[in-house]
Chain A
Amino acid sequence: DTEVTQTPKHLVMGMTNKKSLKCEQHMGHRAMYWYKQKAKKPPELMFVYSYEKLSINESVPSRFSPECPNSSLLNLHLHALQPEDSALYLCASSQGPRMNTEAFFGQGTRLTVV
């Protein structure tokens, strides 16, 4: 199983809402990532978790709050988002930090903030 599963596939939320994006992998990977991708742009790194600990935060606004409950799950909690936060949010995982191995990406959650 080389799959990274993201839910939901689509999400529409108001600026005062609180919602969460979920990501799951069962490949035994110990590094997990959140990326944000705007239309016709490359994915931009937001957060990296290594062995369930946050190792990289690319100066992401606090309205995005990541959580890694265990080695298979990664959440992204959303609160008080702005319309410009509308994008495709991608989760990825790789075997581990300090290893040149493939990062597997999920299909993404298409987020629209209204």
Chain B
Amino acid sequence: QQQVKQSPQSLIVQKGGISIINCAYENTAFDYFPWYQQFPGKGPALLIAIRPDVSEKKEGRFTISFNKSAKQFSLHIMDSQPGDSATYFCADILTGGGNKLTFGTGTQLKVEL
């Protein structure tokens, strides 16, 4: 079922630094690319999402960069805070395939003081 490759698997960043997580996909039919944040014991929550006709989207400290030709997209967390420590999943949705939402492998982010 895995169709999105995500890296790194884990990431440690100092408070105030930039966290960068990358994802690569294969199926060009995907038409929506969300990022989810999951804290231990909780369900995933949507952080930010992008469509493939947009190269960048920014919401507060979170930015998605999308490279359609390379079939890659990345999440940048500016001014990382300890409260950002969580697992981050990129995902893709094939709306023509019944809204099949498939997650990447996940990145465990730890922001240290």
Residues of chain A having any CB pair with chain B under 8 Å: 4, 31, 33, 40-45, 48, 50, 55-56, 58, 90, 92, 94, 96-100, 102-108
**Contact residue among A4, A42, A100, A106 (Cβ-Cβ distance under 8 Å from B104):** A42
CA–CA, A31 and B31, complex, Å: 17
**Cβ-based interface call for B102 (8 A):** yes
Residues of chain B contacted by A56 (CB below 8 angstroms)? 97-98, 100
User: Judging by beta carbons under 8 Å apart, are A43 and B49 in contact?
Assistant: no
**Contact residue among B45, B51, B105 (Cβ-Cβ distance under 8 Å from A100):** B51
User: Judging by beta carbons under 8 Å apart, are B100 and A105 in contact?
Assistant: no
Interface size on B, residues (CB 8 A): 27
CA–CA, A99 and B100, complex, Å: 11
Q: Is the interface of B mostly helix, strand, loop or mixed?
A: mixed
User: Judging by beta carbons under 8 Å apart, are A55 and B98 in contact?
Assistant: yes
Residues of chain B contacted by A104 (CB below 8 angstroms)? 46
Known A-B contacts A100-B93, A107-B43, A108-B43; A43 and B103 likewise in contact (beta carbons under 8 Å): yes
Chain B proximity of A91: nearest CB distance (Å): 8
CA–CA, A31 and B95, complex, Å: 12
**Contact residue among B43, B49, B104 (Cβ-Cβ distance under 8 Å from A105):** B43
**Cβ-based interface call for B42 (8 A):** yes
User: Judging by beta carbons under 8 Å apart, are B34 and A99 in contact?
Assistant: no
**Cβ-based interface call for B101 (8 A):** yes
CA–CA, A98 and B100, complex, Å: 10
Q: Give 5 new A-B contacts, CB below 8 A, not counting A31-B99, A40-B108, A56-B98.
A: A42-B106, A43-B89, A44-B103, A94-B99, A100-B49
CA–CA, A114 and B21, complex, Å: 37
Q: Taking CB as reference atom, which chain A residue is nearest B45?
A: A105
Residues of chain A contacted by B42 (CB below 8 angstroms)? 107-108
Chain A proximity of B31: nearest CB distance (Å): 7
**Cβ-based interface call for B83 (8 A):** no
**Cβ-based interface call for B44 (8 A):** yes
Chain A proximity of B42: nearest CB distance (Å): 6
Known A-B contacts A41-B106, A42-B106, A100-B32; A106 and B98 likewise in contact (beta carbons under 8 Å): no
